[in-house]
Amino acid sequence: MMAQGQSLHSRCCFISELDAMSLPPSQPYPPDGSSSQFLLPPATPPTMKRTVGSYLNYPLWKNLGQQAARHRYWMKGAAIAYGIVCCVLLSSFMAIAAASLWAPVAEGLTNHLQRWVPAVVTPLQAVIAEIRTDWPLNRRWWLFLLTTGASLALWCKVVGLTQQIIRSDGDLASHLIPTWRQRSLTGLVAIATAALTLLAVGVVLLALPAGMQQQAEVSVIGLMRQLLVQSLRWSLAASTIALSYGVLYRSSQKSSARSAPVLPGTVFATMIWLATAMAFKHHLESLTDYHWLFSAGSTLTLAFIGLYICTLGLLLGGQYNKLINRYFPLARSPQSSPQGPPPSFESFTIPKQRPYR
């Protein structure tokens, strides 16, 4: 009996040594910089208060870049920007059709183009006059209706794709076919974001009176007035585009998940849009110093690059909202009543079932 007990004890020790050898070595959290693992927050993050330094956390920003590479935001942003460019092209045909139908629309369109791209005004007026004289009225109406419907449908598709990318976490529920309620909500969000974006772009491109510029060059009061108007312009544009981004982020959250704050990602995407708009505005103001061909080519190139940067910032802002709420979950509103202890075993009662007859 003693020999059997000793042999059993040796076998148990041998098996425990094999289990200890098969286990991987423990590593501290977070991993070092040389590791290729994603810097995900722990399962139970420590209790800490969100401060200004929380938004500049290095593991959070590193994780943001890794998640962007993992979900291929660089390619998805280019696809969304391409859809927006196609929507703008369809909208240009819609504007030409509207100008051929209504004279005030043609006058307003030529006035705006005369201010920024004067070389395009004469060919555009010739095209509008030719369509107005050669095309019958019903064909012009069909062109206007078809281009309007196609541009609206494409814009709704772009907004829906953006919502799906922001909402997606790699799970199956993010790639299911949307219901009619979700599609209706996407249509409303598309209309709201289109109106707010056009308003923000219009505020940025709005030209100041020539007399204000002359007064700013000769007097201090005129300079202060110009600075005040410029600050109001950029504040209005930033608040409008921030409202558009906030609506898009809020509508992109899953209905089954708990509502999370969207302000950090909105501020991040708005800052990227604001810097891109300022650079593009400065380029437009210096177009008179160059040849019209170089001005047109550089404007189109910078417009495409700026559109891609803004689209990429929009996607990164959505991911930034997720990460900031994972790393610092205490920023959410506390519950109205704290959860009590789990019920005891004695509180459970099993109802007596009737015997089957």
Rounded to an integer, the average pLDDT of 116-130 is 79
Quick one: pLDDT band at residue 85, thresholds 50, 70, 90?
very high
Q: Name every residue whose Cβ is closer than 8 Å to that of residue 81 and which is 6 or more positions away in sequence.
A: 304, 307, 308, 311
Q: What is the sign, positive or negative, of the torsion defined by CA atoms of 76, 82, 87, 91?
A: positive
Q: What is the DSSP string of 291-336?
A: -HHHHHHHHHHHHHHHHHHHHHHHHHHHHHHHHHHHH-GGGSPPPS
Quick one: pLDDT band at residue 220, thresholds 50, 70, 90?
confident
Q: Do the Cβ atoms of 155 and 87 come closer than 8 Å?
A: yes
Report H helices in the chain.
2-22, 58-70, 73-101, 103-116, 121-134, 137-167, 180-205, 210-218, 220-251, 263-285, 292-327
Asked whether the predicted pLDDT for residue 97 surpasses 50, the reply is yes
Rounded to an integer, the average pLDDT of 123-140 is 88
Q: Say if 112 falls within a structural domain.
A: yes
Asked whether the predicted pLDDT for residue 101 surpasses 60, the reply is yes
Look at residues 64, 42, 43, 38 and name the one whose alpha carbon lies nearest to residue 264. 64
- DSSP category for residue 167: H
Rounded to an integer, the average pLDDT of 237-243 is 93
What's the domain range around 207? 64-328
Quick one: pLDDT band at residue 30, thresholds 50, 70, 90?
very low
Q: Say if 97 falls within a structural domain.
A: yes
Asked whether the predicted pLDDT for residue 347 surpasses 60, the reply is no
Q: Say if 356 falls within a structural domain.
A: no
**3-class SS at 51?**
coil
- DSSP category for residue 57: -
Q: Say if 43 falls within a structural domain.
A: no
Q: Say if 335 falls within a structural domain.
A: no
- The predicted pLDDT at position 349 comes to 61
**Residues 40-58 pLDDT 10s:** 555 445 555 667 667 777 8
Range with the largest mean pLDDT of 3-7, 10-14, 183-187: 183-187
Q: Say if 59 falls within a structural domain.
A: no
Total domain count for the chain? 1
Q: What is the DSSP string of 225-282?
A: HHHHHHHHHHHHHHHHHHHHHHHHHHHTS-SSSPP---HHHHHHHHHHHHHHHHHHHH
- The predicted pLDDT at position 355 comes to 59
Q: Do the Cβ atoms of 125 and 111 come closer than 8 Å?
A: no
Q: Say if 194 falls within a structural domain.
A: yes
Asked whether the predicted pLDDT for residue 147 surpasses 70, the reply is yes
Peptide bond into 30 cis (omega under 30): yes
Q: Say if 12 falls within a structural domain.
A: no
